[in-house]
Structure 1
């Protein structure tokens, strides 16, 4: 099972009032910000500059969320994108400059540049403590995401939460059923039908969506291949076994996940090439390698995939 995205130990977000109480002046604070010793996370809230610069986009969003929580009503919970980030889900192409929260009393605050406070009921059973803050439970987070973005981006988040074990398809289905009258929830059912706990990365989720969108046959994720002695020799990202075609999605995450300690990139690529050749020899299948750049031209990629599937069908693969 894939581990969630590794979350950093976050520095403390400090309010201006706290710094003033400690003897600083606004002039001193501004000088520290100008020098880079402090970073203004949001108005009136600061964090250590060196620690900030060491963080990625997701962890910076987590700091923004904590800054919002400092100023928010005590019954405020991180939801939607902010909950997904706390759960360690991939949040491909979602804006992370805005924190999302919901109040337990259902009240909606004024929308701000860096903060959206959603309405709706949020009973205590829908909230859990995660990384020190209250967040919506993962199954609810799945539904929340589908109400604020499109199917493809939602599917990336939902598959990430499913594959990490944060929730299950059944829990998501139960939540989707209970939230069928939520505003902007028309995409929820389609995401539910497309989601698959076996899909391991944002790139794989996008390829799976691409196949549905381009009316290609639905491939099987994570197909295991064994040698003549029954030993597992590899697992391919997707396969159309009836056509004798498999897909390997090439992305940076794969290089980071599967490279061995001390292994150079060239050594990893050579080992990957040998693995692919062995799978082809054992199965008689052919391989399609897909990259993020390929997904940027889906019609062109679809023509290539369809042509290969048609040729394999004609050969009786």
Structure 2
């Protein structure tokens, strides 16, 4: 049956990789090796299996636990955020607890520490895989964690802006500029940042190059927080 990222694809996680195909089979079953197929051996309980589109796959919490423990951290982080976003907000805490239990009780202990740390970071509130990577970059640098999708309101309580991430106590915001989202809105973003500046905010913008080499970005964030006297 499908497992890992292949199962997440069926459950609706667009950031999971559709190839290679991951399957889990019983220990006693022989499976011919072939290109594009990754075979994992293990036991899957009947209650942990669902059928989606005519294909047997593991349930969402099992698939996510496996990806968090055994896949690269950036992919796993973005998958966790998307998987949590698929769950209604009222059920998210229970789902998170189920995933945590799956991680802690995995027969293979390898990757448990990674899985638990990434699950703790994920919120289901970020809006793109790159934003998930950006949050992971901030966490890896040892900086205080910002709040995702922070809403700024006017005096009447109406929403006027929504920041990708914010350290509200310091009034420092962090925005990810994806190419498609920001290619034709530089002027509007500049006006927005200026208005936020007048309201007391410092806005730091990050792009794909900052994810590749984050040292300069981390220095800018740390300096902005220090200027505001912000400490956890």
* TM bracket, shorter-chain basis: 0.7 to 0.9
Task: State how far apart, in whole Å, the 2-side matches of 1:199 and 1:108 are.
Answer: 41
Change (3 A) 1:231 1:134: same
Task: State how far apart, in whole Å, the 1-side matches of 2:30 and 2:221 are.
Answer: 47
Q: Report the equivalent of 1:132.
A: 54
What does 1:24-39 align with in structure 2 at a 5 Å threshold?
none
Contact 2:26 2:43 in 1 (8 A): yes
Task: State how far apart, in whole Å, the 2-side matches of 1:212 and 1:129 are.
Answer: 36
Change (3 A) 1:300 1:183: same
Q: For structure 1, list consecutive stretches of 5 or more residues without a partner in the other structure.
A: 1-76, 256-264
Q: Per-residue deviation at 1:130?
A: 2.0
Q: Does 1:209 align with 2:126?
A: no
Task: State how far apart, in whole Å, the 1-side matches of 2:28 and 2:202 are.
Answer: 54
TM-score between the two structures when normalised by the length of structure 1: 0.63
- CA offsets per residue over residues 169-207 of structure 1, 9 Å max, x none? 22322322332x325333222122222122221111111
Task: State how far apart, in whole Å, the 2-side matches of 1:103 and 1:253 are.
Answer: 40
Task: State how far apart, in whole Å, the 2-side matches of 1:81 and 1:309 are.
Answer: 37
Change (3 A) 1:213 1:281: same
What does 1:107-118 align with in structure 2 at a 5 Å threshold?
107=29, 109-118=31-40
The alignment's C-alpha RMSD in Å is 2.6
Secondary structure of 1:135's counterpart equals strand
Secondary structure of 2:169's counterpart equals coil
What does 1:79-228 align with in structure 2 at a 5 Å threshold?
79-91=3-15, 96-103=18-25, 107=29, 109-165=31-87, 168-179=95-106, 181-186=107-112, 187-228=114-155
Task: State how far apart, in whole Å, the 2-side matches of 1:194 and 1:156 are.
Answer: 10
Q: For structure 2, list consecutive stretches of 5 or more residues without a partner in the other structure.
A: none
Q: Per-residue deviation at 1:141?
A: 1.0
Change (3 A) 1:253 1:201: farther
Contact 2:68 2:119 in 1 (8 A): no
Task: State how far apart, in whole Å, the 1-side matches of 2:121 and 2:180 are.
Answer: 22
Task: Kindly tell me the number of residue pairs found equivalent between the two proteins.
Answer: 225
Change (3 A) 1:108 1:225: farther
Task: State how far apart, in whole Å, the 2-side matches of 1:165 and 1:146 are.
Answer: 17
- CA offsets per residue over residues 135-184 of structure 1, 9 Å max, x none? 211111111112332323211111111012286322322322332x3253
Q: Does 1:243 align with 2:167?
A: no
TM-score between the two structures when normalised by the length of structure 2: 0.84
Larger radius of gyration: 1
Contact 1:105 1:122 in 2 (8 A): no
Which structure has more relative contact order (CA 8 Å, sep 6+)? It is 2
Contact 1:143 1:188 in 2 (8 A): yes
Change (3 A) 1:244 1:111: same
